[in-house]
Structure 1
Amino acid sequence: MDSLIASFLTLILTETGDRTQLLAAALAIRFASNRPVILGLAVASLINCLISAYAGSFIDQWVSQDPVRLFNGLAYLLAGAAMLAWRRPVDLLKGWKTGPFLTAFLGIFILQFGDKGQFIIGANAARADHWLFPAIGGWLGTLVAVVPAILLKERLAKILPISKIRIGGGVALCLLGLIHALKAWHII
């Protein structure tokens, strides 16, 4: 259950102001329809979360606890660094001739595949009792972070201090990752 909460909170943090949130809001504006974009987001994120958690569950079977803790620390450290780093602009998929659901589903699925959220979920799954808990937590965290961007669109940036959230969250995740890595090396 801890892995569900950890994935939930971490994905809310990492998706705030991230490219998934920006793309989803842009697609809601482009198609002037929230429901198919939310549905595309939900399905794409669920599939990505299930893939990453299931893959992460195999790591625990192959290696001892210290490398799993190191993997967890590195996932958090790199996610924090990614939150602090410059981000390239989001492709708004204007050339895609598909409808709102398919554009949202494929665009978000591709954007999230191999992203920091997948590594966080995979790392949490490697330490979890069951891989489904971090998958559900990550999926719900993504929805909590991105659905308001779809509903509020550009107003979200006025409501939330997104740059401060990204800086604070990035620093917090880097520190958490460093602590896990140092524990894996038995330094602390």
Structure 2
Amino acid sequence: MDAFMIVLVATLLSQAGGRLSGFTERLVERTDRALPVLAGVMLAQGVLAAAAIRIGMLLAPQVTPESRSVLLAVALVLLGIGMMGRLPRPGSTFGSPRLGMFGTASLGAAVILLADSGLMLVAAAAARSPLPWAAWPGAMLGLLGALLPAILLGAREWRRLPWRAIRVAAGSVMILIGLIIVLSTNGLI
């Protein structure tokens, strides 16, 4: 169950107010249909998270338990550093959704998810856990929890939230947790 909780919390914190939330919010605002957009984004997350878990399962027997913990720590630190970057700009960055709402949401979400380091965290958590597939519902629920406020609040209210401060604080916590994991793995604390 540790993979479930690690991935759930990290995905929820890293995707809230991030590129994928901004993309989803803009696409819903542009098309005025939330369900196909949410379904497309969740499909992309489900497929990519399953692939990351499979990679973690293949990696697990080839590395030591200490290396798996260090890999998880590196993934947390990279995710935390990534959260301190630029916030998405308001407004639409794309033209007409030519693939339809579902297709545009799936393809756009897949590109954004591949660019983030969240899938590395899913793979590392799966490699470290005796129940690697527990990371999949964690990834799905974490993303759903991050996207629903963006969709339900609407563009104007969602953009008013202090995302910069929220993301810097959450990123700092992830970096700190990653450093603690590395130090405890090496027996320094």
TM over 0.5: yes
Q: d(CA) in 1 for partners of 2:14 and 2:99?
A: 28
1:68-99 Cα distance to aligned partner (Å, 9 max, x none): 11101100011111111235759733255221
Give the corresponding residue for 2:154. 153
Give the corresponding residue for 1:138. 139
Q: Compute the RMSD of aligned alpha carbons.
A: 1.8
Kept in 1: contact 2:17–2:87 (CA 8 A): no
Kept in 2: contact 1:24–1:150 (CA 8 A): yes
Q: d(CA) in 2 for partners of 1:120 and 1:87?
A: 21
Give the corresponding residue for 1:12. 12
1:84-123 maps to which residues of 2 (within 5 A)? 84-86=84-86, 92-94=93-95, 96-123=97-124
Q: d(CA) in 2 for partners of 1:37 and 1:88?
A: 18
Q: d(CA) in 2 for partners of 1:47 and 1:140?
A: 14
Q: Which runs of 5+ in 2 are unaligned?
A: none
Measured at CA, do residues 43 and 21 of structure 1 come closer, stay the same or move farther in structure 2, by a change above 3 Å?
A: same
Kept in 2: contact 1:41–1:104 (CA 8 A): yes
Q: d(CA) in 2 for partners of 1:54 and 1:125?
A: 8
2:83 is equivalent to residue 65 of structure 1:
no
Give the corresponding residue for 1:31. 31
Q: d(CA) in 1 for partners of 2:134 and 2:82?
A: 24
1:138-163 Cα distance to aligned partner (Å, 9 max, x none): 111011101221232321233x4322
Q: d(CA) in 2 for partners of 1:184 and 1:59?
A: 19
2:147 is equivalent to residue 166 of structure 1:
no
Q: d(CA) in 1 for partners of 2:127 and 2:97?
A: 37
Percent of aligned pairs with the same residue?
A: 27
Q: Which amino acid aligns with 2:158?
A: L
**Bigger mean CA offset, 127-136 vs 148-157:** 148-157
Q: Which amino acid aligns with 1:138?
A: A
1:86-130 Cα distance to aligned partner (Å, 9 max, x none): 357597332552211110011101110242211111111111112
TM-score (norm 1): 0.92
1:77-88 maps to which residues of 2 (within 5 A)? 77-86=77-86
Give the corresponding residue for 1:74. 74
Q: CA deviation at 1:35?
A: 1.1
Kept in 1: contact 2:22–2:88 (CA 8 A): no
The count of corresponding residues between Structure 1 and Structure 2 is 187
Q: Which runs of 5+ in 1 are unaligned?
A: none
TM-score (norm 2): 0.91
Give the corresponding residue for 2:127. 126
Q: Which amino acid aligns with 1:31?
A: T
SS at match of 2:98: coil
Q: d(CA) in 2 for partners of 1:162 and 1:13?
A: 11
